[in-house]
Amino acid sequence: MKPIFNNQLFYWVHTLVIYSWVLMATTVLGSMVVIISIFIKKGNLSHIVARIWGRSILWVSGIKVTIKGFEKLNSTQSYIYMANHQSNFDIPVLLGKLPVQFRWLAKAELFQIPIFGRAMRGCEYISIDRSNRKMAFKSLAIAAQIIRNGASVMIFPEGTRSTDGNIKNFKKGGFILSVDAGVPIVPIIIRGTWSIMPKTRLRIEPAPVMIKICDPIETRSFTRKTKDDLITKVRNIMIAQL
C-alpha cells in the first residue's frame, strides 16, 4: 500500500504555500515600493525592498543559494549583467542574492501585472516592448541614460525562459545597449533553477542554486556593426560555464 503523503503530494502542498506567499509578499512589499517611489524618485531604496521580496520567496521555498566570483566586480563600476534564464525563480534568486544595485531590462508583459508592474516602475526598472521596434529602441535609450547616471542593468539575453535548461540564441538589444554605453558586460550563470520550476511545470521542487559571476567583458572595442561578434563571445563563455 502506497503512503498517502508521498513526495508528489508534499511538493504540491508546498507549491501552494509558496504561491500564496508570493501573492502576499508581492501585494505588501509591492505596495510599499509604490509608496516609496512617490516620495523618492531614485530607485535604490525600492530595489532594496525588492531584494527583501526575493529573499523572502527563497526562504519560504527552502532554496539555498551560493555565489561564486563576486570579488570580480568593482563597486564603483557600472555593468550590464547578462544571466541565463531557466526558470521564474531566476528573478528572486538574482534579486535576493546578488548584493548590488541594478535595474531590470524586462519584457513589457511583466509591467502589466497589477502591483508587481507598478512596483517595477517604482524601482526604475525598464520595460522593453519587443513587438514595437520604436518603443524598444526608446527603452534602450532610457537604459543607457540610467547607466550614465551610475546604475547597472540586468538582462536575460535569451529574452525568455529556456525550455530544456540549455542556453538559447540571444536577442540583440542588450548588446546594442552595451556598445552604445561602453560599459563591461558581466556574464552570470545560474545553475539549479530549471530543476526547481521548469517553464512547462507549475509544481515547485526546491533544490540548491548557484550563481557564478564571470569575468567582466570590455565592450569599448565593439561597435553596432561588430555586435554579432560580441554576442558570440558572451554566449560561448556562458555555454562553457554552464
Q: Which CATH class is domain 7-241?
A: alpha beta
Report pTM: 0.91
pLDDT in tens, 127-175: 888 777 888 888 888 888 888 888 899 999 998 999 999 999 999 989 9
C-alpha distances in Å from residue 195, one per residue of 67, 160, 198, 200: 18, 16, 6, 11
Identify the pLDDT of residue 1.
Answer: 40
- On average, the pLDDT of the chain sits at 91
pLDDT in tens, 23-73: 999 999 999 999 998 898 888 999 999 999 999 999 999 999 999 999 999
